[in-house]
Amino acid sequence: MRRPGQLIREFFQDILASRELAWSLFCRDLKAAYRQSFLGYLWVFLPPLFTTLTFTFLNAQNILSIGETPIPYAAYAMLGTLLWQNFVDALNSPIKSVGINKAMLVKVNFPREALVLSGLGEVIFNFFIRLLLLIPVFIIFEIPVTASILWFPLGFLGLILLGLAIGLLLTPLAMLFGDVQRGLGLATGIWMLLTPALYPLPKEGIAATVAEWNPVSPILLTTRNWLISEPTLQMESFVIVAGTSGILVVLAFLFYRISMPHLIGRMGA
């Protein structure tokens, strides 16, 4: 901290130096995740698929009052669920990757950024696999594909940056307290219900205020609107949240780098 220039320079040097190790860890962890699974890579599709089917059923039975959506609700919910899952995966990825490799952290000296990069690789891999679900959705519900879909990668990047920034800040705490990782499942489940992923943006009331201050809302809504060729009404908020997330990722990476030696020392004690 007394030499910030050197800290930042060494940080970027280690990012570049850890690429090959990150790729090896990514391949190893990906194979291990599905090696003893009967359904294998189908587990990538099942969570968003079952969430969409559940809410579509509840909406069709008038148990939930979702309101009007610009495209058929099943397609609307599927797109929102896929985008939300991308954010949650990015949030969990550094915590998960560091947790899996705790033993290696204590025994081997290597750039710790490799763990974050390998987890990020799995997030991107899973998302591109899930994108296969969009092909039948666009065909079955006859959703037009226009030039606005070319902006979609920016929304995808914004969700990853926001999730990764939060996940990196929580990783040191998760290494110290197991409650953090257990509580994240509960917290993200509630957070999803407070995010307009499965329903349109509320126009009034407490739900509208919560959605307005929810950092995921402008990125998710703008990205979905790009996909379905709808007007982007929250572009200013999107730019603010995505830009802030990019800055936070760098700061969170530096926090992660500074805290890791101390945490590894405690684990090895």
The values of phi and psi at residue 90, to 5°, are -65, -40
pLDDT attached to residue 142: 85
Query: Alpha-carbon distance 228 to 68, whole Å?
Result: 15
Tell which residue, 195, 193, 119, 189, has the closest CA to residue 160. Answer: 119
Contact 45, 133 (CB under 8 A): yes
Tell which residue, 18, 188, 191, 19, has the closest CA to residue 96. Answer: 188
The domain in which residue 254 lies consists of: 4-268
What are the distances in angstroms from CA 16 to CA 43, 88, 111, 113? 32, 26, 10, 9
> Which residues, at least 6 apart from 149, have a Cβ–Cβ distance to it below 8 Å?
226, 227, 229
Query: Alpha-carbon distance 8 to 1, whole Å?
Result: 10
Please count the other Cβ atoms lying within 10 Å of the Cβ belonging to residue 243.
12
pTM: 0.86
- CB burial of residue 163 (10 Å; 0-12, 13-18, 19+): buried
Query: Alpha-carbon distance 224 to 73, whole Å?
Result: 13
Query: Alpha-carbon distance 62 to 101, whole Å?
Result: 46
Query: Alpha-carbon distance 9 to 217, whole Å?
Result: 34
Q: How many domains does the chain have?
A: 1
Walk along the chain (269 residues) and give the pLDDT tens digit of each residue.
677 666 677 767 777 777 788 888 888 777 776 666 555 566 666 777 778 778 788 877 777 778 788 888 888 988 999 999 999 999 999 988 888 877 777 777 777 888 888 888 888 888 888 888 888 888 888 888 888 889 999 999 999 999 999 999 998 888 888 778 888 888 998 998 889 988 888 888 888 888 889 999 999 999 999 988 888 888 899 999 999 999 999 889 888 888 887 777 776 55
